[in-house]
Amino acid sequence: MKESLGATGLILNEPLLWEKGKKGRCGFSFPRRDVEPCPLDEELTGEGPDFPDLSEVDVVRHYTRLAQWNFGVDTGMYPLGSCTMKYSPKTNEKQASLPGFTGAHPLLPSSLSQGALKMMFEFEQYLNEITGMYATTLQPAAGAHGEFTGMLIIYAFHKKQGAQRSKIIVPDTAHGTNPASVSLCGFRPVPVTSNEQGILSVEAIAEIMDQDTAGIMVTNPNTLGLFEENIQKIAQIVHAKGGLVYCDGANMNAVMGMVKMGNIGIDVMQLNLHKTFSTPHGGGGPGSGPVSVAKHLEPFLPVPRVVEENNTYILAEDYPDSIGKISAFHGAFGVIIKAYSYIRSMGPENLKKASQLAVLNANYIKERLKGTLHLPYDRPCMHECVFSDKHQATQNIATLDMAKRLMDYGFHPPTVHFPLVVPGAIMVEPTETESKEDIDQFIETFKAIASEARENPDLLHHAPKSCKVKRLDEVTAARKPCLTG
């Protein structure tokens, strides 16, 4: 194996700012005061705000050291499966920081917001074209929020038909938030098991689809990284019983430019902009989860809607069947700009190529590692591949041990123990921007760890060794979380 990415060196501890500060220090020279001082009213404020006294170098070093503890997609390969850590081009940040966007207030009248409204309108049209759907809303503030919005639309559709239904079919390969989104909208999730090929069978859906089922919520490609090949026949079965087909579009990064969801029977879907359209991911947000629908569901989209009239863009609210407003103002506007920038920068051919490279990279990893790690579904995958710890279990080595050891080699671990249908799952998604050299180094590292599992399993049981924080007691942390800081 080539030299490891990981290395030991200066790992600096960092106290709280209040522990660093010292009375009288100042990091900023204030201009000469031209008004009389006005002390704080201590009856209202007590002793005043508790701010530490810090020099400029104190502040800079504090945040620099904290940043060095962090690992992000700008640091190295981030192979999380089913939670795409797609590289965020820096040109997106430049467009999002343009004064015309950053200085715009969401309560400005439409006449003073034409640029922003035009961008939103065009972005919706791009998403319609990419997905093959008819209309899109940008209001949902995250992928799960988009799921919730889609379920509200399905609920409103059936209510309009005068035949409200109570169930939604949710496959075992769906994203974990799907059952929650179903339940929040008053439906009962009905689980269905995928077949031996890791996809849904037509027979299984035909057996449970009935007149009381509002539809199906299918993730495609699913969380095993496999394309649901029977989706058109499944859609026909659901539609024949008056149901709707929801597609969790979080994995759209695998099929941009190759699959028109609207042409294969999908009625409504959400898109995760961080997964497919390169907006930042992590740190709790901000996120964005636009929802695209077929023509018969357009009346139910949230309001206000951006509409073009005589070359002027307005916010229209006259949609009596709408589910209403589901987000403050018009959605995560800054995130939308970045995704718009990505689409305009790439163009149709390069968007398609991005998906093709993502699929190529994942299949390359699958083929190179399938002798080292157990491969539960040995068939072509989409943008991610799923292994398990079955081969290493004989040495009493589990998925978590290998994931922790990867950190010593300088790699962020892939997703572990998900999807739940694969015991000891190791889910790898390289994305399209990783070079062959970096992917090869990741592969060779995993092979080296597999050798360690055979020859020195105790090494893995105590990994990581060289990280700032060693192995944590994750069970206790989950059961007894410390929320006080």
Same domain, 328 and 436: no
Same domain, 180 and 258: yes
Classify 215 in phi/psi space as left (phi over 0), alpha (psi -120 to 50) or beta: left
Spatial contact of 273 and 335, defined as CB atoms under 8 Å apart: yes
Same domain, 326 and 441: no
Q: How far is CA 400 from CA 329, 461, 471, in A?
A: 42, 9, 10
How many other C-beta atoms lie within 10 A of the C-beta of residue 59? 16
The CATH number of residue 330's host domain is: 3.40.640.10
Residue 72 forms part of a structural domain: no
CA distance 14 to 389: 36
Q: What is the pLDDT of residue 7?
A: 77
Strand partners, 307: 314
Same domain, 153 and 197: yes
Spatial contact of 149 and 302, defined as CB atoms under 8 Å apart: yes
CA distance 175 to 420: 10
Q: What is 401-447 written as a DSSP string? A: HHHHHHHHTT----EES-STTSTTEEEE---TT--HHHHHHHHHHHH
Same domain, 264 and 412: no
Spatial contact of 138 and 330, defined as CB atoms under 8 Å apart: yes
Strand partners, 305: 316
Final residue before a domain boundary, out of 311, 345, 379:
345
The CATH number of residue 370's host domain is: 3.90.1150.10
End-to-end CA distance of the chain: 41
Same domain, 228 and 285: yes
CA distance 303 to 324: 5
The pTM of the full predicted model, rounded to 2 decimals, is: 0.91
Residue 6 forms part of a structural domain: no
Same domain, 340 and 369: no
Residue 386 forms part of a structural domain: yes
Residue 64 parent element (H or E): helix 56-69
Is 326 in a helix, a strand, or coil? Answer: coil
For the chain, 485 residues long, give each residue's pLDDT as a single digit of tens.
Answer: 667 777 777 778 888 998 988 888 988 888 888 998 877 666 655 566 778 999 999 999 999 998 888 888 888 999 999 888 899 999 999 999 999 999 999 899 999 999 999 999 999 999 999 999 999 999 999 999 999 999 999 999 999 999 889 999 999 999 889 999 999 999 999 999 999 999 999 999 999 999 999 999 999 999 999 999 999 999 999 999 999 999 999 999 999 999 999 999 999 999 999 999 999 886 656 789 999 999 999 999 999 999 999 999 999 999 999 999 999 888 899 999 999 999 999 999 999 999 999 999 999 999 999 999 999 999 999 999 999 999 999 999 999 999 999 999 999 999 999 999 999 999 999 999 999 999 999 999 999 999 999 999 999 999 999 888 888 888 898 899 887 75
Same domain, 147 and 212: yes
CA distance 60 to 370: 46
As for how many domains the chain has, the answer is 2
Residue 57 forms part of a structural domain: no
Residue 27 forms part of a structural domain: no
Same domain, 241 and 362: no
Same domain, 390 and 437: yes
Same domain, 270 and 146: yes
Residue 54 forms part of a structural domain: no
Provide the residue type at 208 as one letter: I
Q: What is the pLDDT of residue 28?
A: 82
Final residue before a domain boundary, out of 310, 345, 380:
345
Spatial contact of 337 and 344, defined as CB atoms under 8 Å apart: no
Residue 40 forms part of a structural domain: no
Final residue before a domain boundary, out of 345, 371, 387:
345
Q: State the residue range of the domain holding 390.
A: 348-469
Residue carrying the six token digits 């992000």? 72
Residue 476 forms part of a structural domain: no
Same domain, 372 and 300: no
